[in-house]
Amino acid sequence: SSSGLGFDLGFSYHNEEALFAAGLVLRNVGFQFNGYNSINGDNKQEILPIDLQIAVSQKLPKAPLRFHLTLHNLQTWDLSYATNSNVPDKMNGKTKAAIGADMFFRHTIWAVEILPHKNFYIVASYNHRRSKEMSVTNKRSIAGFAFGAGFNAYKFNVGFSVVPYQTGSLGYNLTFSTNLTDFGIK
């Protein structure tokens, strides 16, 4: 077993008139108190996997659309996935420019939100890194995409999403949330 302490630190900016929002998050800041013991009895303490993220969101003024862009893992440029055979994932034979473009897009998550009503939304997103890491060679897949919808009822928000990780593997999320200030709690 192992124990540690970690926290997330974030800042956000909202401009209601411009229909714009931005955020900065530093996730998994912390350390292990004690690490896992190896076979020879060494106590190996590891750092937590820090993730620096920046996100922006822009709603169109005359259309029920909002666009999102998240840049994640900004502390590490190379996000290629090495397999157990120490062969990088699908990078063989690519030019430096193609590898650079692929690395840039592995840091991005793109999303579009459709807002047909103030209390209802539909969203679709694409995560290029997940697509590259979860796709099966020579098979078409929608790995990397995610789809969801949600609605506001009274003082609560209910959301549902489906994430196809790879062929035959779907993840489902059901979220219930509320804002405590709606109940007079400050």
**Average model confidence (pLDDT) across the chain:** 86
% of the chain exceeding 70 in pLDDT: 87
Average pLDDT estimate for 148-170: 89
The mean per-residue pLDDT over the stretch 110-118 comes to: 95
Higher-confidence position of 177 and 140: 177
- pLDDT range class, residue 87, cuts 50, 70, 90: very low
Q: What percent of the chain has pLDDT over 90?
A: 51
Is residue 85 scored above 50 in pLDDT?
no
Residues with Cβ within 8 Å of residue 10, at least 6 apart in sequence: 23, 24, 25, 26
More confident residue, 99 or 146: 146
Entry pTM: 0.78
Tell which wins on pLDDT, 40 or 2. 2
Count of helices and strands (H, E) across the chain: 2, 11
Please tell me the least confidently modeled range out of 18-32, 57-71, 99-113, 123-137: 123-137
| CA distance to 8, 24, 106, 162, 177, per residue, from 52 (Å) | 10, 8, 14, 25, 25
What is the reported pLDDT for 86? 45
Which of 131, 125, 117, 116 shows the shortest CA–CA distance to 162?
125
Per-residue pLDDT of 38-73, as tens digits, reads 666 677 777 888 999 999 999 999 999 999 999 999
Cβ atoms of 112 and 121 within 8 Å: the answer is no
Residues 50-59: pLDDT tens digits?
999 999 999 9
Token couple for 91: 């990078």
Does residue 25 or residue 40 have the better pLDDT?
A: 25
